[in-house]
Amino acid sequence: MSEEQTQETAVKVHLPAFYGLKAGMTRIFDSNGNHVPVTVIKLLPNYISQVKASEKDGYTAYQLAYYEKREKLVSKPKQGHLKKAGIDSTFARFAEVRVDEVNPEFLGKPVDFDNFPESTYIDVTGFTKGKGFQGVIKRYGFSGGPATHGSKFHRTTGAIGNRATPGRVFALTKMPGHMGNKKRTMQNLKVVELNTNDGYLLIKGSIPGSKNSIVKIQKAIKA
């Protein structure tokens, strides 16, 4: 390891949250031989691309850059923003993590994952799997109508209003529409294993999102 790499490793920053990639699910066996279902999170490099201070921005936060792509797939403004922070990699995504205090010296430094060891309780935020446009039976579990004997009511919604009064369809009425692809957070999940050498994190149970989707890992609020 070169001297520059050694210095970079020495200044890694601990934050209460980072962004990773959901690689899929598998199972492991604990020391007692019990079967444990786990979700595998690929640890993506997270770099601090901007420091938000209360004096200038009105609040304190770190902006994280993550999810590296080829240079030609990242816009010029983003590349300029990264170079201004002293980051050579071409990251395509950015997000903020609120903190109580910030250190301007952390600009351009990588985020360390060592503060998420085994048995740590975390909250995971992601977007649920998209199901496309669906009817009320699949979307809300409606029972539907008779399947035979001349019935013309099978899988449709049914009545949604009542004559001239109120003369409109109430908001939030359960009707066909876009299903899934909603931002959801699962709380108090447990870290089973952290392996920074191989670049993965194991979380007990399932989490929102499809395979290869971006998820936010943060310290549990209610733990």
| Pair 103, 212 in one domain | yes
187 shares a domain with 115: yes
Closest CA to 36 of 200, 205, 175: 205
Q: Is 212 helix (H, G, I), strand (E, B) or coil?
A: coil
pTM score: 0.86
Q: Tell me the mean pLDDT in the region 112-116.
A: 94
Same domain, 102 and 165: no
- The yes-or-no verdict on residue 159 having pLDDT over 70 is yes
Note the pLDDT tens digit of each residue in 1-46: 455 544 554 677 999 999 999 999 999 998 899 999 999 999 999 9
Per-residue pLDDT, 1: 45
Whether residue 137 is found in the same domain as residue 195: no
Q: Is the separation of the CB atoms in 122 and 115 below 8 Å?
A: no
Domain count, the chain: 2
Query: Which CATH number belongs to the domain containing residue 201 in this structure?
Result: 2.40.30.10
The dihedral sign for the CA sequence 53, 57, 62, 66: negative
Torsion of CA 139, 142, 145, 148, to 10 degrees: 60
| Percentage of the chain exceeding pLDDT 90 | 81
pLDDT of residue 67: 97
Average pLDDT value for the chain: 92
68-85 pLDDT per residue, tens: 999 999 999 999 999 999
Q: Which DSSP string do the residues of 126-145 spell out, in sequence order?
A: EEPPP-EEE-HHHHH-----
Segments forming the whole domain that contains residue 203: 3-130+183-219
The predicted structure's pLDDT at residue 88: 95
pLDDT at 164 over 90: no
In the sheet with 47-52, reading across from the earlier edge strand, the strands are 47-52, 61-68, 91-98
> Are residues 67 and 31 located together in one domain of the fold?
yes
Task: For residue 185, give the nearest of 207, 163, 206 by alpha carbon.
Answer: 207
Does residue 32 sit in the same domain as residue 55?
A: yes
Average pLDDT estimate for 214-219: 97
Do 117 and 214 have their domain in common?
Answer: yes
Give the H/E segment covering residue 83.
Answer: helix 76-84
**Is residue 202 located within the same domain as residue 154?**
no
Q: Is the pLDDT of residue 187 over 60?
A: yes
Q: Is there a single domain that holds both residue 109 and residue 187?
A: yes
Residues 6+ apart with CB under 8 A from 113: 18, 43, 194, 196, 201
In whole angstroms, give the CA distance from residue 189 to residue 55: 36
Are 158 and 116 contained in the same domain? no
Burial (CB < 10 A; 0-12, 13-18, 19+), residue 52, is: middle
